[in-house]
Amino acid sequence: MRPDTADAASTERACGRVAGGAAHHGGLHRPTHRNPSWVVVRLYEAHGGRARARLVPGFEADEIVETDLLERPLAQPKALVDPDGTLALRPFQLVTLRLRRRHP
């Protein structure tokens, strides 16, 4: 599933981009209902292989946390290998990340 050009451009402005090319943005980028300063992003590995990627937010983020599908923080992250947004993905892995926007 590949977004059209207009959707891809608006997604990059709102959320950022995934560097590395192997992971795809799952299309969800929104403030959470619990706290509007958090943004949730879902990514997935779509080619059936292991991949490394880095999420580059389109805004200043204080924190990037890997969560489960219900957006609860994981005690042991499965894909997030570095707090800067670097990911190590398994084949077809779905990852949910919660980013906290930095307030000026």
pLDDT in tens, the chain (104 residues): 333 333 344 444 445 666 655 555 555 455 666 677 888 899 899 999 999 988 888 888 889 999 999 989 999 999 988 888 899 999 999 999 999 888 76
- For residue 73, the model assigns a pLDDT of 94
- For residue 59, the model assigns a pLDDT of 87
Assigned CATH for 5-101:
2.60.40.1360
- For residue 37, the model assigns a pLDDT of 81
> What token pair was written down for 82?
């570095």
Cα separation, 79 vs 59, whole angstroms: 21
Strand ranges in the chain using DSSP code E only, listed in sequence order: 16-19, 23-31, 38-45, 51-57, 61-67, 80-82, 86-89, 94-101
Q: Diameter of the chain by CA atoms?
A: 41
